[in-house]
Structure 1
């Protein structure tokens, strides 16, 4: 599933502290020990078995509760209205995914169903760990929910109340997570101080040891208090009852939000799944390419050659193969456009494409583990009203591969001409910082140095000093002009904020023309 809230199989395992090693071992066994399957479907009647406290499993349960809370929030009336009225009709979604609103609603509904599937799957796993067999094999019960699509007002009110209760427990669990680490540090400090006392004959240090002992005692008391107020001390069976109610409610809510779009699978998405960036595992890569293009446009006069080289090396094969022919068809028009005009043309696409790329990067780098919740405050209140987690349809996940590459190709061609026009503004000289392979000849350098109007602000102070140095220096026999120029460039690299790689060989730099040739 696309990680709007990333799954974390072992929250305590991230901490890596010595005092919680046992907790890591416990969490690593999750999912490996399953109870025997109950042949009955649904719930069973009879005497309820007294369950055990959730204990160390609290952090896993908290992570699942947050997933359910985020999904519930995304299905609110305001968020569904925003989805249908703002997100789906947006230029990025329409250009990259589909212009068919019915198709887009089916895709959005399918995404919510997949989120629910992940959430309910974790609830099933927790149910199988219960002592009471009525919570075993809940997947069979959840499968029957497909035939129940009649909204129940009471269920909605109950589910919202239950989620508020669970989120209160989650916030206390988040605090417990950090206080356990603090307790571990207190214990380490106390043991270290105790060892120093044993190895020392000085009696004056007893006061500091007493202070540490008091702090440790206070921290242990605080942790015990938090355990009582968090999921740690809850009975797993009691929490399971609440989670099952939430699953049932979310099933109804998705159908109510999307109606008929929820009953049918997206036709285009299912048939052309191999052409979508998400299913091909390319969404994040293409997002990085778009971000690099945007950076080069904003800094077209002062971008290191290795940054441009990285962009071209990472271009999709289809874009690389089409670049040459596209460039030739554009060549005659190049002198007709100024730098401002080229940037304006690129901005027409970048203004809606860059936000989609940014969303893709955020979604892939998102977390969901309990430590983050404590750092950002209440999950329910950490965002302004009406906002929710990023939707998958707001990213490149569902974007058409061929269509996205077409936009990238167009931008790369425009970028080529932007750099050429920038070079014209530099008296026809390509900045050595941009491309060491394209060394200016001595005559061009001398002409530029003698003309007062050639002191273009596009050239940095370091570039101008470099040009003066090369124009006065005699060439070394046996090496090419480009190598000679690159040798001189190293004299200024320490003072040039754009030169960040001392081992960047000029023969490895890929300039724009090399791709066309």
Structure 2
């Protein structure tokens, strides 16, 4: 709680997104701590009901009167602090016990496998290899036995519950001393701006921030559809506001890639940790074995960082405030991607000129003219019109895939026959021109739509 007052409440993320009013922040902290306290006290009540001694049953009745009782004498604090130091050692040895139990079970399995292997080969169950296995197994068994004596494994349940009750009383007193008793109403009745937690949006915003961070970290090598996925997941109010912001917020052209990235990092450096804590808080706790492998020493104050409280997440973030930062980051991403594309285009080598085919040199210019005519929605003539036979020939050149085994002379002959047939037909609108033009227009429109949908032309 001292760390909470000195560091957490003073952090930039909380000051920017939650509140700058220390009294309001303290009220949030009190609510959070009381909720943690209630979870802890319920576990003590459960253990009490498991005791054989009935005096530890129904501790909930006793704990419910703590709010109305006076803080009491300071002897509780002395006893509780002494008990917590004792429990810290017991917890440390209990974590060690679970690790060594896992090792012991693995050694037993290896030893049994070795015995089976030797029996299948009709080998005598003796020798140096067997002796080493037996020695290690014996040493591990002794280690486990000693740790059981030093840990909570061998402690009497009634003895532990009695000391836990003292700790419950002490924690209740500490909350009142450090945080007061004024925060319940501030959060309970939802006063003030809308918070992401009460709107059930904290995790969604955390994932959104994580996606923005990924894009900003490697804009030149993004997985497919990353920006489109981000855009599709934006809340409607941000989606509606983003196009106008892209038009109104202008970034100087002289801003380099490095400068744009530095501007984004100013916000991401305090926003990303809040998002990471939010995701971590939603993952919950693992099994005892996992806890044993990842637990911290209780005497180390850094253990507070492994279990973030609500105030260190996006739970209390003001929705209106964080929306402004999200839109600002999205605009920066637009300019960041534009900068990356400009750099990539500038670094591409100039295309080498290609030699035109020796026959029908006018075909390339006629094809370009034909494409322009096809893409013109009004189908207005631009320059010289193509003759009907040229349009038909051009359509065949575009549509035809060369068939293996057919010589150039045969292709040329086929083309001449086609041209000869055209002389007997009347001039008119070419169906090839219409179908090809329709296809090109459709493809052109599809390209524009995809370009826009790829993250609002990010």
TM over 0.5: yes
Aligned to 2:246: 327
Question: Which of the numbers 335, 340, 344 marks the counterpart of 1:417?
Answer: 335
- Per the normalisation by structure 2, the TM-score is 0.70
1: CA distance between counterparts of 2:400 and 2:41? 74
Superposition deviation, residue 136 in structure 1: 0.8
Q: CA deviation at 1:378?
A: 5.1
Structure 1 window deviating more from structure 2 (246-255 vs 158-167): it is 158-167
Residue from 28, 35, 43 that aligns with 1:107: 28
2:276 is equivalent to residue 358 of structure 1: yes
Task: For residue 414 of structure 1, report the CA deviation from its aligned partner.
Answer: 2.1
Segments ≥4 residues shifted beyond 6 Å: 385-388, 475-481
CA offset digits 1:245-304 (Å, max 9, x no partner): 000000000000012xx2341425632699432344432332232233233234334434
Find 1:127's aligned residue among 35, 48, 51. 48
Q: Contact 1:276–1:401 at 8 Å: present in 2 too?
A: yes
Q: CA deviation at 1:155?
A: 1.2
Greater displacement, 152-161 / 248-257: 152-161
258, 265, 289: which is aligned to 2:184? 265
Return the alpha-carbon distance in structure 2 between the equivalents of residues 196 and 513 of structure 1.
63
Task: Tell me how far apart the structure 1 counterparts of residues 400 and 317 of structure 2 sit (CA, whole Å).
Answer: 55
* Aligned-partner Cα distance in 1 for 2:399–2:216: 36
User: For 1:341 and 1:204, how far apart are their aligned partners in 2?
Assistant: 72
Q: Does the 8 A contact of 2:28 with 2:187 survive in 1?
A: no
Distance 1:408 1:421, change over 3 A: same
Cα deviation, residue 144, structure 1:
0.4
User: 1:199 Cα shift?
Assistant: 2.8
What is the aligned length? 372
Match of 2:82 in 1: 161
Q: Which secondary structure does the structure 2 equivalent of 1:303 belong to?
A: coil
CA distance in 2, matches of 1:216, 1:268: 56
Distance in structure 2 (CA, Å) of the matches to 1:365 and 1:510: 36
Summarize the alignment of residues 20-169 of structure 1 with structure 2, pairs less than 5 Å apart.
75=1, 78-79=2-3, 83-150=4-71, 152-169=73-90
Deviates more, 1:359-368 or 1:93-102: 359-368
Partner Cα distance (1:182, 1:92) in 2: 43
TM-score norm. by structure 1 comes to 0.63
Alignment partner for residue 197 of structure 2, among 273, 278, 293? 278
| Residue aligned with 1:396, SS | coil
The residue number in structure 2 matching 1:403 is 321
> In the alignment, does 2:183 pair up with 1:256?
no
Q: 1:516, CA displacement in angstroms?
A: 3.9
Inter-partner Cα distance in structure 2 for 1:386 and 1:289: 26
Matched residue SS, 1:271: coil
CA distance in 2, matches of 1:338, 1:350: 19
CA contact (8 A) 2:31 2:187 kept: no
Assess if the C-alpha contact under 8 Å between 1:98 and 1:104 holds in 2: yes
Mark the CA change 1:219 to 1:324 in structure 2 (over 3 Å): closer, same or farther. same
Partners of 2:225 and 2:454 within 8 A in 1: no
Helix, strand or coil for the counterpart of 1:146? coil
From the superposition, tell whether residues 511 and 232 of structure 1 become closer, same or farther in structure 2 (CA, over 3 Å). Answer: farther
Whole-angstrom CA distance in 2 between matches of 1:85 and 1:210: 58
**1:184 correspondence with 2:69:** no
Following the alignment from structure 1 to structure 2, what is the Cα–Cα distance between the partners of residues 388 and 378? 8
125-134 vs 202-211, which moves further = 202-211
Conserved? CA contact 1:323–1:515, under 8 Å: no
How far has the Cα of 1:161 moved from its partner?
A: 0.5
CA, structure 1 residues 101+269, in 2 after alignment: closer, same or farther (shift >3 Å)?
Answer: farther
1:149, 1:255 within 8 Å by CA — same for their partners in 2?
no
Deviations 1:332-389 (A, max 9, x none): x355562355445434433432232233344445757654565467522444599784
State how 1:235-384 maps to structure 2 within 5 Å.
Answer: 235-259=156-180, 262-267=181-186, 270-271=189-190, 275-330=194-249, 333-334=250-251, 336=253, 338-339=255-256, 340-365=258-283, 367=285, 370-371=288-289, 374-375=292-293, 379-384=297-302
Mark the structure with the bigger radius of gyration. Answer: 2
Q: Matches of 1:118 and 1:105 in 2, distance apart?
A: 20
The verdict on how the C-alpha distance between 1:395 and 1:122 changes in structure 2, with shifts beyond 3 A counting, is same
Deviations 1:444-501 (A, max 9, x none): x78x447xxxxxxxxxxxxxxxxxxxxxxxx9989999xx9xxxxxxxxxxxxxxxxx
d(CA) in 2 for partners of 1:386 and 1:151? 28
The question of whether the paired residues in 2 share the 8 Å contact of 1:294 and 1:350 is answered with yes
CA contact (8 A) 2:34 2:175 kept: yes
Distance 1:94 1:202, change over 3 A: closer
Deviation at 1:156, TM superposition (A): 1.0
Q: Residues of 2 paired with 1:319 and 1:360: CA distance?
A: 21
Aligned twin of 1:390: 308
Q: Distance in 2 between matches of 1:181 and 1:194?
A: 20
Distance in 2, matches of 1:93 and 1:153, equals: 34
- Mapped to 2, the partners of 1:102 and 1:341 lie a distance apart of 38
